[in-house]
Amino acid sequence: MSVLVVVEPDEGAEGGLSVVSRETLTLARAMPGGAAGLAAVLVGGVGAPDEAVLAHCREQGVDTLYVCGDERLERYAARAWAKVTGAAVEAGGAAYLVAGGTPRGNEVLAHVAATRGVPMATNVVAVVQEDPVEVERQVVGGAVLERVALSGSPAIASVAGHAVVPEASPTPGEAQVEQVAVELTEADLTAQVVRLEAREGGDTSALTGADVVVGAGRGVGGADRFADVEALAARLGGAVGVSRVVTSLGWRPHHEQVGQTGSRIAPDLYLACGISGAIQHWAGCSSSKTIIAVNTDGEAPMVTQARYAVLGDMHEVLPAVLAELGEP
Amino acid sequence: MTDVLVCVKRVPDASGEVVLTPDGSSVDGRYAGYTMSAHEECAVEIAASVAGESGGSVTVLTLGDDDSVEQLRAALAVGAHEAVRVDAVADDYGPADVAAAIAEVVRSREASGSGFGLVLVGNDAADTGDHQVGIRLAHLLDRPVVAGAQQVAISGDRVDVRVGTAAGTEVYDLPLPAVLTVLEGGVEPRYPNISGRMKAKKAPIEVVEPAVVPQGSGRLGLRVLPPPESNVELLGEGAAAAPRLVEVLREMGVVR
């Protein structure tokens, strides 16, 4: 038995693998056979992997890293990548196929599951029984855990973001690179990205990768009342995040939304201002290392579940904080 | 002219407390309001817009019991023309079952000469979050599929699809017929007006029997996480709390 993990390259400043991929590799080692036979397939990067990717794979105990050099994959096509992934399953005889619960991870796994007619469990947070395998996964925005039997050949699961803290394997892997050869058909490439358009000010990665996020909810009071929130985010070198009601009211763009249908964040500090803390919002921010709430309602879930809280109107508190901070 | 099928799901409104049935097998409906997923509200909006521009029609479909008619009427009130309910106990259906049931409806319509150029589903349901119904449906129907669609434009027999990602907007160009899974964020769902509500109230709902025997989702049970114990430290009230708050920020090392 072995476990095959779909990993994604991260072209961010640190390079190498995405954090979610490292979290997923960490959880995969706890799966049956994962510690003894861990393999990975690199989805989204064509050709020879970067040394940073290989270093992360070795650190995580990956023995074999499957890659595909077909240049037709330079532009993303989920079905084609699912074919590569399926071929890697065959090559390594994987009993379990796992990916991070990212858009790419879920999409590629769903294609593999559909092709093979096997089940797929999403948002898994833990393996709770080994034989037969049973996992727990988040449902209803993370408010409820569902225990499911993980059947199928291979058994397929995606891992909820930030459910696991990435840790190096006690035994480094060899990360031997193996090429996967697949015959791609026209159908595999019909749904393929034709171009990527950069968005000015719409970079979600600024939010998901920020060490500090200053969040704002309905309590901000209007589209024209974000100056203090923006100023504090800038002063702390962080990003602005908002609750769903803020985007629903049209006060801020969707790419700033934190929550179940927005971005999931895990900053060192989440400073949540005027946010009540509905379940859907918690789904996106509960992995923050420290949460500080500023709210007029001392009983709001965001306040009671925060590490620190200030009671009061954010429009009184934030200017005072900015004044106290002074110039950098 | 593009006829669009948009599939919606009745889900518990999780903005309040979630209570399970005594046996832990499902969310207790007596304590929950119901809604459709945010992604699906956007899918209905896209469907209404696409069909409106091309002179086509929007059919809204759900799989569920009689109560799920509420979500169908919500879609009818904001632009859907027809509604179909696959009469089933939704909890018995796993994502593969739901995809198979939808595929049967699509095939049946095609056989009667009224097929759908575009099928839209939510990217993932707000309750089960399965991320796979649309993709399984596309494989069953042998159609191309794009996940995470946020903006959609039809041009002749092709569809231009835009997907927001961390790197920017990915643009796809697909032949019709196609399947798209819709993600919240690209369009603003419209609110129903009074005439829309009145029309939706009277609209007929077609009820069909499912053509699949459900295999289920593998669910063994549910548990609600106990609310975390509050260990909040109150730093003060109003502007007077600023010095203490900044002290905490400095202790955390986040002040630059």
Cβ distance of B222 and A250 shorter than 8 Å: no
3-state helix, strand, coil in chain B (%, to 5): 35, 30, 40
- Span A96-106, average pLDDT: 94
HSE (CB half, 13 Å, CA atoms) of B248?
A: 21
Please give the single-letter amino acid code of residue B172.
Y
What is residue B77's three-state secondary structure? Answer: coil
Shortest CA gap B204–chain A (Å): 31
- Span A91-116, average pLDDT: 95
A149 touches B at CB < 8 Å = yes
**Which of left, alpha, beta for A201 (phi over 0: left; psi -120 to 50: alpha)?**
left
Task: Write the DSSP assignment of A163-222 as a string of letters.
Answer: SS-----SS----EEEE------HHHHSS-EEEEE--TT--HHHHHT-SEEEEE-GGG-S
Shortest CA gap B4–chain A (Å): 19
B-proximal residues of A, 278-297, CB under 8 Å: 278-280, 290, 292-293
Q: What is the pLDDT of residue A282?
A: 87
Q: How do residues A205-235 score in pLDDT, each as one tens digit? A: 678 878 999 999 999 999 999 999 999 999 9
Q: How do residues A270-314 score in pLDDT, each as one tens digit? A: 999 999 988 889 888 988 889 999 999 999 999 999 999 999 999
Cβ distance of A140 and B127 shorter than 8 Å: yes
Residue A202 pLDDT > 60 = no
Interface probe, candidates A10, A104, A158, A254, chain B, greatest B C-beta count within 10 A: A254
CA–CA separation, B20 vs B36, rounded Å? Answer: 19
Residue A11 pLDDT > 80 = no
Residue B148 pLDDT > 90 = yes
Q: Phi and psi (nearest 5°) for A149?
A: -80, 130
A319 touches B at CB < 8 Å = yes
Instruction: Note the pTM of the prediction, 2 decimals.
Output: 0.91
Other Cβ atoms less than 10 A from the Cβ of A172: the count is 15
Task: Write the DSSP assignment of B107-132 as a string of letters.
Answer: HHHHHTT---SEEEEESS-TTT--S-
Q: Give the orientation angle of helix A227-235 with respect to helix A314-325, to 10 degrees.
A: 30
Q: How do residues A105-128 score in pLDDT, each as one tens digit? A: 999 999 999 999 999 999 999 889
Shortest CA gap A172–chain B (Å): 31
Percent of chain A, pLDDT > 70?
Answer: 96
Q: What is the pLDDT of residue A15?
A: 63
Q: What is the pLDDT of residue B195?
A: 93
Cβ distance of B168 and A144 shorter than 8 Å: no
Least confident of A232-236, A304-308, B2-6, B163-167: B163-167
**CA neighbor of A286 nearest in space, from A200, A161, A134:** A161
Residues A272, A285: contact at Cβ < 8 Å? yes
- Span A38-51, average pLDDT: 90
Cis peptide upstream of residue A103 (ω within 30 degrees of 0): no
Cβ distance of A144 and B18 shorter than 8 Å: yes
CA–CA separation, B30 vs A73, rounded Å? Answer: 50
Of B166, B232, B245, the CB nearest to A204: B166
Residue of A nearest to B178 (CA): A191
Cβ distance of B173 and A313 shorter than 8 Å: no
Per-residue confidence at A13, pLDDT binned at 50, 70, 90?
very low
Of B27, B223, B252, the CB nearest to A268: B252
Task: Write the DSSP assignment of A39-59 as a string of letters.
Answer: EEEEEEEESSPPHHHHHHHHH
* Mean pLDDT (chain A, rounded): 91
Shortest CA gap A207–chain B (Å): 9
- Span A257-276, average pLDDT: 90
Least confident of A94-103, A133-142, B86-95, B225-234: B225-234
Distances from the Cα of A160 to the Cαs of A164, B185, B199, B245, in angstroms? 8, 21, 42, 32
CA–CA separation, A111 vs A108, rounded Å? Answer: 5
Of B223, B239, B256, the CB nearest to A316: B239
Q: Phi and psi (nearest 5°) for A94?
A: -70, 135
In chain B, DSSP assigns E strands to: 4-7, 10-12, 34-36, 58-64, 82-87, 118-122, 145-149, 151-155, 158-165, 168-175, 178-182, 206-208, 219-224, 233-237
As a whole number of Å, the end-to-end CA separation of chain B is 57
Q: Give the orientation angle of helix A314-325 with respect to helix B242-252, to 10 degrees.
A: 60
List the structure tokens of A270: 């989440």
CA–CA separation, B185 vs A248, rounded Å? Answer: 9
Q: Who's near A39: CB < 8 A, 6+ residues apart? A: A2, A3, A4, A5, A62, A63, A64, A65, A66, A88, A92, A94
Strand order in the sheet with A3-7: A176-179, A64-68, A38-46, A3-7, A96-100, A155-159, A120-129, A134-139, A144-149, B219-224
Q: Give the orientation angle of helix B95-111 with respect to helix B133-141, to 10 degrees.
A: 40
